[in-house]
Amino acid sequence: MTSQPPSPQETVPTCYRHPGRETWVRCQRCERPICPDCMRDAAVGFQCPECVAEGNRTVRQARSTFGGGVVTTPYVTYTILGLIGLVFAGQLLTDNRLGSALMMNTVYVVGEGEYYRMITSAFAHSTTMIFHVLFNAWAIWAIAPYLERAFGHVRFAALYLLCALGGSVMSLWFDDLRTATVGASGAVFGLFAAIFIVGRRLKLDVRGIATVIVLNLVITFVVPAVTGFGISWTAHVGGLVTGAVLTTALVYAPRKHRALYQALALLGGFAIMVALTVIRATSLLS
C-alpha cells in the first residue's frame, strides 16, 4: 500500500483571522475556517468571534424590576457601609477632627464654599452616641440590597446620594446657621420612602414600612422637644421627600424609553437641588 501526495488543487484552509495558521475547523454559522484561538463554544460545534458578537446583539439582556442591570451582589450597598465604617473609625482615631471636616454646617458650606459637606456629612456620625451609626448601618443593610436589586447599581447609587443631598438642602434652608449635622439618616429616610413606593407599585403589603416611617417621624419631632436631644428634622424630612419623589418617577416611568425618563428624573432632581442651593447661598451672602 502506498500513499498518494496531495494534488496541487487540494490546498489546506487557513484561519480567516490568522492566515498563517492551518485549520480544518469551520464556524458553524458563517462556515469560515477558524483556528483554536478563534473558536468559541456554541450550542453545536464552534463559532467565530464575529458571529458570537452578532448573536449577542440580538439577545435581549436580562434587566432588573425597574430597568437596571441584574444585580447578584449589592456592591453599592457594601461600598456605602464600608465608607461609613471607615469614616467612623477615622473619626475615633482623629478625636473627631475628621467628622468636623465632613459635617454639614451652613457657615462652612456657604461661607467657605465647602459644598462637598452636603454629601460627606452623610458618611460621618456622632462618636458619642454609638446607636446613631449602628441604627443607620442596620437600616441600610436591611433595606438597601432589596432596592439595589430592584433598580440596578447605577440607579440605586444615584437615588441614595440624591436622598442624602436632599436632606442637606433642606438643612441649608431651615436649620440655624450655627447648626452642625452628621449622619446617613437623611439618606435612610429616603430609602424608607423608596421601599414604600416600590411596595405600592408592586402591590405588596406596605403597612410595616409605613409604621416604621411614622414612628421615626414621631421620634424626630417628639424626642428633641421632650429631652433636648438633637435630631435634625430637616435632614430626615428632606431625605424622605426626595426619596418619595424620585422613586415615584423611577418606578412609574413608561416602559418605552424607560431608561431615558429615569435618567431625566434623576438629573432633574439633582438640578433642582443645585438651584435651591445656589438660591439659598446667594440669599445668605447678600
- 183 and 262 both lie in a single domain: yes
Specify the pLDDT at position 49. Answer: 85
- 22 and 81 both lie in a single domain: no
Q: What is the pLDDT of residues 51-90, one digit of tens each?
A: 877 776 655 556 777 877 878 899 999 999 999 999 999 9
Instruction: Give the pLDDT mean for 23-43.
Output: 82
d(CA 273, CA 168): 10
Q: What is the pLDDT of residues 131-170, one digit of tens each?
A: 889 999 999 999 999 999 999 999 999 999 999 999 999 9
Q: Is the pLDDT assigned to residue 1 strictly greater than 70?
A: no
What is the average pLDDT value for the chain, to the nearest integer? 89
* Residues in Cβ contact with 164 at an 8 Å cutoff, skipping those fewer than 6 apart: 118, 119, 121, 122, 184, 186, 187, 190, 239
Residue at 61 is within a domain: no
Residue at 242 is within a domain: yes
In this structure, the number of other CB atoms found within 10 A of the CB of residue 61 comes to 7
- 145 and 27 both lie in a single domain: no
Residue at 66 is within a domain: no
Q: Which residue has the cell 458618611?
A: 123
- 37 and 166 both lie in a single domain: no
d(CA 50, CA 210): 52
Instruction: Give the pLDDT mean for 6-19.
Output: 72
- 40 and 129 both lie in a single domain: no
- 142 and 44 both lie in a single domain: no
Specify the pLDDT at position 10. Answer: 55
Residue at 3 is within a domain: no
Specify the pLDDT at position 29. Answer: 83
Residue at 207 is within a domain: yes
- 169 and 45 both lie in a single domain: no
Residue at 55 is within a domain: no
Instruction: Give the pLDDT mean for 243-269.
Output: 95
* Residues in Cβ contact with 21 at an 8 Å cutoff, skipping those fewer than 6 apart: 14, 15, 35, 37
What DSSP assignment string belongs to 24-55?
A: --B-TTT--B--GGG-EE-SSSEE-HHHHHHH
Report the CATH number that the domain containing residue 140 is assigned in CATH. Answer: 1.20.1540.10
Question: What is the chain's length?
Answer: 286
Q: Which residue has the cell 468559541?
A: 40
Domain of residue 27: give its range.
Answer: 10-50
**Euclidean distance between the first and final Cα of the chain, in Å?**
106
- 36 and 92 both lie in a single domain: no
- 180 and 40 both lie in a single domain: no
Residue at 85 is within a domain: yes
Residue at 154 is within a domain: yes
- 143 and 200 both lie in a single domain: yes
* Residues in Cβ contact with 39 at an 8 Å cutoff, skipping those fewer than 6 apart: 25, 46, 47, 48
- 193 and 82 both lie in a single domain: yes
Q: Is the pLDDT assigned to residue 204 strictly greater than 70?
A: yes
Q: What are phi and psi of 169, to 5 degrees?
A: -65, -45
Q: What is the pLDDT of residues 266-282, one digit of tens each?
A: 999 999 999 999 999 99
Total domains in the chain come to 2
| Whole-number percent of the chain with pLDDT over 70 | 92
The cell numbers describing 28, all together, are 458553524
- 44 and 180 both lie in a single domain: no
Q: What is the pLDDT of residues 104-122, one digit of tens each?
A: 999 999 989 999 999 999 9
What DSSP assignment string belongs to 226-240?
A: HH-----HHHHHHHH
